[in-house]
Structure 1
């Protein structure tokens, strides 16, 4: 693996994996404590519509997927806040329609034979410098937002009723978390694909939750754990010529099983 670091695409993949791991650790912690895992799954699959539109119109994939994912997140936030009893139906609808739109636009793209596997299971080895700039900018933005509004986000995440009583705009922060989740899903798709993105946003967080005593430490620990999983997964992918996203998730799942067994024994 050390000799592979001399290649630019491996360097880009490693940097992207580390950045996305910490983004996933931060936002994944918020997704888990706010019980938004199913919502994030809906956003992930709906974002495929943006990928299809981006391919058809010739705009950057990240831009198209981000716009579509954020739109889906805003719609889900509106439905969750105003019609919570129907949220499962709407998530399923957005999930299916988003993917259908993406597939249709890919089919309509003239002369373009798209590799669907790269979006379903990730293509971290195809990350370029522009992708890294996008990921890095998103990481800085997320760190700034979470640091600036940490107390409010903490209050909303663990006791929204108390947060509302003390004057916190619960609807705003709930929507903000969903929007940040949408951006996180988009960058994570590049690493592990939209099929596996939820695993990256939950497995390291589950382990970190059992090792931390606060939301802040949970974010940091889960980011570090996700980084370790990503680096090992990349090594497996390079060494055995396997799909990188699947390797990362397989390493994560095996590590979770080992962690649960050791915890049970203790």
Structure 2
């Protein structure tokens, strides 16, 4: 017999974490005290916090990528503070509390894990994801306002992540290619359309933008079919490019010249040299 969610939580909760959670909530309340609180914290709203939350999320991702435990812990704390801040603002407005936020996500996790807390069956990560999406679809169907497959897709997600989420939603209702081969064909088609837009006697900037957008959307689709996260893949490509170009800069400096003084051919020679060095 599977243990209840409450039993699992009770058995795994460390007593030393609860006082620190309460302490953090008390500190947040003190920062927002109208008489003795911090002027900056008192001046914030949910809207003004959004840029900080996005920044902190990316800093967590960066810390995890670089793998420093202390830095990960520190950045997770910064991100947790954002959640606590939003909950405090909502509490002041009489909307909800931090405890209600925790309760809502606890309920959702139990509901979406019937293979752990109920009679469901999902023996592989892939089966879990399929079940998760099916439950989410049912939850969306139960909402009275929007029954579209795109209901709940955030409009302000990074474009690559949003494209991936859009495509997954369509795949869940059967609107998807069976494998990567037709996606590759679609990419070749989109590249040809970009080339055609650029070859016009009078290049239409909006048309080029549209075709490049279609190409990027198709590439995200390819990444999804290859089980590759496009955001992660592009971030790694960015890091690789910067690492290699830093090496180009260092090589040029060793030769007594700055990269800005070199022409494209000379820079390409250094670039290819760096790539060969990396591979060996």
After TM superposition, the score normalised by the length of structure 2 is 0.27
- Could you say which structure has the larger radius of gyration? 2
Higher RCO, Cα 8 Å, sep 6+: 1
More helix by share: 1
